[in-house]
Structure 1
Amino acid sequence: MTNDPLAADWSSAQVEVMHRLRDWVVGFTALNQHLGTWMRLPASDANALGQIIWAAETDAPLSPAQLARQLGMTTGATTILLNRLETAGHVVRSRESADRRRVTLRPAPESREHARRFLALAGTEIAGVLHTTPPAELRTVAAFLARITTAAAEADGRLSSGSRTP
């Protein structure tokens, strides 16, 4: 494979996958904007709140630093965003760890329930696809997405460290 991805000889299946990944990002962004409207929040705040709720739902609550990485924001900008969400009553910061310096982000119960009502309305089609897809296909897709996510994280780490060579 050439070092120039734009000059590489891509198969039609590879191009199709990249188009579908892009389409998912576009669709997810649109749904996030609807969540923002539903919650009466700017899209960036709704995205952050969604990340906080999802993490809490999976029993893996985020720290502010983890949220900043997921959002692609600086810790300072994330702190300002969290201050807005906390002031509006959407997020609670707590110290649940033995290390009292570690802050855990949790959605406020009312905001969590309001977001759940949105997901019940907005997630119907996505849930339908997930529930009707055969388990073997889901495992294949999950494995592929894990590999492509790892590749993206490796590229991000390399670029963040200032390295311009693969």
Structure 2
Amino acid sequence: MYRRRDTRREQLVADITNNLRRYAVDAQHVGHAFAGLHGLGATDLQALIAVMDAELHGDPITPGRLGEQLNLSSGSVTALIDRLERGGHIRRDRNATDRRKVLLHYADQGAAVAMEFFQPLGRRTDAVMADFTDDELETVHRFMTAMSATVREHRDAVRAESPRRTNG
């Protein structure tokens, strides 16, 4: 339902909210297209993103942490990791300092497949960001960081109210 906004700020907030919603839906469609091309389910894709994010932050994820992030049981996480490893998307490595600890990494084949698919999108987003000054990008970064944290907080609150999933 459309209603007239009284102030410029109200209109901007409504426009930004709509843009964020549309971005989330469009990004989800892109992710699903990638998953569909490679025989991956939604949980598989979430796992790959979690593995990639952890590696980008220099802190590879463990199976236990992956299960917590995805709200999966231990057995479901093992089946998920086995499936992704068989598909060449991830690999398991023992921690060099604690051999009991397993770390998950993006496999070379999985990284190559993702790069091929997402590289055109990367070029498009680079072109968009080139039109913004460093100061503007700092503001956008601060905004996106805060919005992402808010969404994660809400996700975690909703998850706490839901029973733990038992399968992927």
- TM-score (normalizing by structure 1): 0.74
- Output the CA distance in 2 between the equivalents of 1:117 and 1:99: 34
Name the CA shift for 1:132/1:89 in 2 (closer, same or farther; >3 Å). Answer: same
Deviation, 1:161, is: 5.3
Distance in structure 1 (CA, Å) of the matches to 2:73 and 2:131: 40
Aligned partner letter, 2:146 = R
Say which SS state the counterpart of residue 60 (structure 2) adopts.
coil
Which AA in structure 2 matches 1:114?
A: V
Equivalent residue, structure 1, for 2:111: 112
Q: Which has the higher contact order (CA 8 A, sep 6+)?
A: 2
What residue is the counterpart of 2:102 in the other structure?
Answer: 103
Instruction: Tell me the amino acid that sits aligned with residue 73 of structure 1.
Output: N
Listed as ranges, the gaps of 5+ residues in structure 1 are 1-8
* Residue equivalent to 1:14: 13
- Offset of 1:18 from its aligned partner? 1.7
Identity of aligned residues (%): 25
SS of the residue corresponding to residue 123 of structure 1 reads helix
SS in 1 for 2:34: helix
Partner residue of 2:26?
Answer: 27
The answer as to 2:89 corresponding to 1:90 is yes
Specify every segment of 5 or more residues in structure 2 that has no aligned partner in the other structure, as ranges.
1-5, 162-168
Give the distance between the partners of 1:131 and 1:62, measured in 2 at CA: 32
1:24 deviates by: 1.5
Change (3 A) 1:58 1:160: closer
AA aligned opposite 1:74? L
Aligned counterparts, 1:1-166, within 5 A: 11-70=10-69, 72-76=70-74, 77-159=76-158
CA change 1:48–1:19 in 2 (3 A) is: same
Equivalent-residue separation in structure 2 for 1:160 and 1:46 (angstroms): 19
Residue 4 (structure 1) aligns with: none
Contact 1:65 1:75 (C-alpha < 8 Å) held by counterparts = no
Q: CA deviation at 1:19?
A: 1.4
Once superposed, what is the RMSD of the aligned Cα atoms?
Answer: 2.7
TM-score, normalized by length of structure 2?
Answer: 0.73
The Cα shift of 1:58 comes to 4.7
Deviation at 1:14, TM superposition (A): 1.9
CA distance in 2, matches of 1:157, 1:75: 16
